[in-house]
Amino acid sequence: MRNFVQFILYSLRIALSGNSKYYAWLASLLVLVIFGTYSYLYQLQNGLIITGMRDQVSWGLYISNFTFFVGVAASAVLIVVPLYVYNYREFEYIVTFGEFLAVSALIIALTNVLADVGRVDRLFHMFPIIGTPNWPDSMLTWDIIVLNGYLLLNLLIPGYKLYKKYMNQEPSNWIRYFILLSIPWAISIHTVTAFIYAGLSARPYWNTALMAPRFIASAFTSGPAMMILVLLIIRRYTFYRKYISDKAISTLTQITLIAMIINLFLLLSEIYTVFYSATVHQISLKYLFFGLEHDGKLYAALTPIAWISVLMQVTSVGLLLPKRTRQNFKALALACALNFGGVWLEKGMGLIVPGFVPTPIGEIWEYMPSFMEAVIVLGTIGWGLLVYTLMLKVAKTIEGKQNLPEE
């Protein structure tokens, strides 16, 4: 126990010391966090009326971001599986990047839920014993269970390994079971999140069996893309350079590329099915890509976002397919940024909002997030990045001191 306390104190010391660049980075994240928190307090005081949401579109930016970051969290499994199941050693060093990315993404996802509920003081009503969780009926109850479980797993596994490294001991074998458990768990968090939407017959746009597969595909492309970006930045700006092998990055690149192609394929299937059969169900997708006309007025707020998102995703595939651009780190970074941004737009504005347009009784009402709402979301992302930075700093310093991989 004393060792553990020392370990925590030691970690804190590492986390809070660094060069001026490190401090500048932390400070800029803090600014985001402060603005976000301030806006959140403002929302607590004045209610959700300060958001752009209304009865017509009753979920917006918060739930969209929640959805997207659950996907990012799930994608950590793409590093865990090659390493622990197929013993792909190149990922040995970067696995913590994945696990901590999962933790941070979950923090973003869960804080977005906090921002979205109308009565945050009553949140405990959905927990067992102290509340009345509607289990197994409600997918939201399921989701809260699996998300918190996944969060714990991803704190436990890397935390335990680090602690052992700090103590100069070999990790015991039992941790393997948790690692193996985390694999199906990762899939489950995103599947259950997809089921939240897919199970609603009231919203034909979401009510498709393709929902969960599309969620997984888009998560498995945007997650690694994010990871590649992080690794490239770390290689460029910090001294951990030599531990991140080109090979690890190129493997990640391939994963990103394949998942993106599958993702676009699924999107195409969806578009084909909906538009060719041309039932009333096409109306939300039509709204997303072309806008809807009503009484001589065109409602098309999401149209540019939809097309830009598709364009970004297709361009990223174009950049990743040829070997020459794929291996050029500048082009690679651009491709990953496009990929990440494209999926964010698609999942963010393109997935949740059109499900509400038109309303079940035929009203077309356009949602745009309010300024405060956007700041709150930025704040949650700031939290995530802050936690990510601090955790990585600790992990990489301890690992670097005590376990230098051979060149």
Binding test (CB under 8 A) with another protein, winner from 296, 330, 360, 407: 360
In the stretch 105-144, what mask flags binding to another protein with x, by CB under 8 A?
A: -----------xxxxxxxx-xx----xxxx--xxxxx--x
Tell me whether residue 8 or residue 44 sits nearer to another protein (CB atom).
44
Binding test (CB under 8 A) with another protein, winner from 1, 2, 19, 45: 45
Tell me whether residue 17 or residue 132 sits nearer to another protein (CB atom).
132
Tell the smallest beta-carbon distance from residue 42 to another protein (Å).
4
Is 337 a binder of another protein (CB under 8 A)?
Answer: no
Tell me whether residue 45 or residue 168 sits nearer to another protein (CB atom).
45
Binding test (CB under 8 A) with another protein, winner from 8, 85, 167, 202: 202
Q: Using the rule CB under 8 A, give the single segment among 24-32, 303-311, 361-369, 397-405 that binds another protein.
A: 361-369
Tell the smallest beta-carbon distance from residue 354 to another protein (Å).
13
Is 38 a binder of another protein (CB under 8 A)?
Answer: yes
Site for another protein in 270-289 (CB under 8 A): 280, 283
Q: Using the rule CB under 8 A, give the single segment among 64-72, 96-104, 156-164, 351-359 that binds another protein.
A: 351-359
Tell the smallest beta-carbon distance from residue 136 to another protein (Å).
10
Binding test (CB under 8 A) with another protein, winner from 3, 17, 28, 46: 46
Is 362 a binder of another protein (CB under 8 A)?
Answer: yes
- The answer to whether the beta carbons of residues 394 and 387 sit under 8 Å apart is no
Tell me whether residue 90 or residue 116 sits nearer to another protein (CB atom).
116
- Catalog residues that contact another protein under the rule CB under 8 A: 38, 41-42, 44-51, 53-55, 58-59, 116-123, 125-126, 131-134, 137-141, 144, 196-197, 199-203, 280, 283, 355-356, 358-363
